[in-house]
Amino acid sequence: MERKETVFVVSDSVGETAQFVVQAAVSQFSGGIMDIRRHSYVEEAEDIEDVIQEAKYMNSIIAYTLVIPELKDYLDRRAKEEDITSVDLMSPLLNALSDKFQKKPKNEPGMVRKLDDAYFRKIEAIEFAVKYDDGRDPRGIKKADIVLIGVSRTSKTPLSMYLAHHRFKVANVPLVPEVAPPEELYEVPRKKCVGLIISPDKLNEIRKERLKALGLTAESSYARLDRILEELEHADKIMKRVGCPVIDVSNKAVEETANLILENFKMERSSV
């Protein structure tokens, strides 16, 4: 019985990139009817040896994306010894990039997937921050990595979005005297929460500017100093009950406050 034309795809990661390239090439021949057999997560010489023997028996080609030098060298050597055609799909481009830009590759498998995973985690965190912004749904408090609490205009939303870009799921809850905070706030670990405070004068200034931007009078109770003092006192009581760390944001940029939050939690992650 005639053996089917076969291409073996070998990778030290998932192998999706190699398979996609091979499929694109195969599509140019006989309507693309060739068998493609993928061998993923090749980590040892023994794994390669299995492919070598199978490819030899079937008189096939091996196409590979191996970035670990020892594995690549082994496959190249054994393929030559067994007179098997092998195609390195990665090295020519890696070498060209390295020569042109004078940089060395990491030679670490799975980097594309790692980047994809980081990207999707960031998108998920951003969607989370939007969904659970401003106390819209208290269920987010228990799902969040970080919960921010404070009075209006203490940068809760900008901080939530900034931290989301660093792949943290953040919920924020406004503290208002007339509205009792959700019970979920007292049911999560206190180290998960961060209280944001601000000086009365600074908050007064920020709220006046906010009202002006909205075309409203600065005499509104929202910006009155007595109202601000009442809100801050109420927030202080809530933060003490929660027992969370507190950060004064009076003269801090969002980035500075975010770094303090990450330091408090000891949850620093590399930037995307």
For the chain, the structural domain boundaries read: 6-109, 116-265
Chain centre distance of CA 31: 40
DSSP character at residue 6: E
Predicted confidence band of residue 3 (pLDDT cuts 50, 70, 90): low
Separation between Cα atoms, residue 8 and residue 2, nearest integer Å: 18
34 versus 256: the higher-pLDDT residue is: 256
| pLDDT computed for residue 272 by the predictor | 40
Sheet containing 170-174: give its strands across.
170-174, 146-150, 193-197, 246-248
Q: Calculate the alpha carbon distances from 11 to 18, 39, 77, 95, 116 in Å.
A: 7, 6, 16, 18, 18
Considering only CA atoms, which of 77, 74, 57, 58 is closest in space to residue 66? 74
Considering only CA atoms, which of 132, 168, 164 is closest in space to residue 149? 132
Predicted confidence band of residue 113 (pLDDT cuts 50, 70, 90): low
Match 């057999």 to its residue by tokens: 37
Range 116-265: architecture per CATH:
3-Layer(aba) Sandwich (3.40)
Whether the per-residue pLDDT at 134 is higher than 90: the answer is: yes
Question: Average of pLDDT values for 128-146?
Answer: 93
Match 């009075």 to its residue by tokens: 151
Does CATH number 3.40.50.2300 belong to domain 6-109?
A: yes
Query: pLDDT exceeding 70 applies to what percent of the chain?
Result: 91
